[in-house]
């Protein structure tokens, strides 16, 4: 698990990191200043916007469709991040209804994340404009979605299909 960690040097003082075992697992630490490398996932938020036209998806600059999403910045709450991403990636103001799904994402070996998918509503989605990581934005009927680039989005979509027509959270 340490082999794929790109950290080789202490980010505080530049000394070469050494491996040690803290009693629970192997980690890296700096022999000079004692800094310990804790490798943790970051947090992401995603916006489920389901209208009469379907589920709004974004096509990414790097290719493929996804539920609009982004990382939570250091000084943001989950909700602030979700609203900011809506403004950046769709150009709309959203109101957050509820958390629909929370899941670990392991598809990017460089950066594991924990994703929080919000059910959200927005006025004026027809005027939505793609921004941020997105180059295209449109709704798809739940039974006619394109291939989704993130594996956990596929899990969320399966859940959405099963709960379609029922109130949010009514599992
Ligand atoms: Zn150091």
Distance 64 CA to ligand 1 centre (A): 40
Going from the first residue of the chain to its last (171 residues), give the mean pLDDT of each consecutive group of 10, the final group possibly shorter: 86 97 94 96 97 96 96 98 97 97 93 96 92 95 95 96 66 46
Distance 4 CA to ligand 1 centre (A): 20
Residue 64: which residues within 8 A CB-CB, separation 6 or more? 147, 148, 149
Pairing outcome for strands 42-51 and 26-29: unpaired
Q: Residues 97, 91: contact at Cβ < 8 Å?
A: no
**Residue 71 pLDDT:** 96
Per CATH, which fold does 42-163 belong to?
Nucleoside Triphosphate Pyrophosphohydrolase (3.90.79)
**Residue 2 pLDDT:** 77
Distance 28 CA to ligand 1 centre (A): 11
For residue 162, the surrounding DSSP H or E stretch is helix 151-163
Closest listed residue to residue 44, CA positions, set 171, 144, 132: 132
Listed residues: CB within 5 A of ion ligand 1: 10, 12-13, 15, 30, 32-33, 35
Other CB atoms within 10 A of residue 36 CB: 12
**Residue 121 pLDDT:** 97
Distance 8 CA to ligand 1 centre (A): 11
**Residue 171 pLDDT:** 46
Q: Residues 68, 149: contact at Cβ < 8 Å?
A: no
Q: Residues 9, 29: contact at Cβ < 8 Å?
A: no
Please tell me whether the overall predicted TM-score, pTM, comes out greater than 0.85 for this model. yes
Distance 16 CA to ligand 1 centre (A): 8
**Residue 4 pLDDT:** 83
């Amino acid at each position: 698990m340490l082999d794929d960690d790109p950290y080789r040097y202490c980010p505080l003082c530049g000394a070469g990191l050494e491996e040690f075992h803290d009693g629970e697992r192997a980690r890296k630490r700096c022999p000079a200043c004692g800094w310990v490398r804790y490798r943790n996932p970051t947090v992401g938020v995603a916006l489920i916007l389901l209208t009469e036209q379907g589920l709004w998806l974004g096509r990414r600059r790097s290719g493929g469709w996804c539920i609009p999403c982004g990382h939570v910045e250091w000084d943001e709450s989950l909700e602030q991040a979700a609203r900011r991403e809506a403004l950046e990636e769709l150009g709309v103001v959203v109101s957050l209804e509820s958390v629909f799904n929370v899941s670990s994402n392991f598809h990017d070996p460089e950066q594991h994340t924990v994703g929080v998918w919000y059910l959200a509503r927005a006025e004026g989605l027809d005027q939505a404009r793609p921004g941020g990581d997105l180059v295209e934005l449109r709704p798809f009927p739940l039974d006619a979605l394109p291939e989704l680039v993130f594996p956990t989005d596929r899990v969320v979509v399966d859940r959405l299909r099963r709960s379609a027509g029922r109130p949010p959270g009514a599992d």
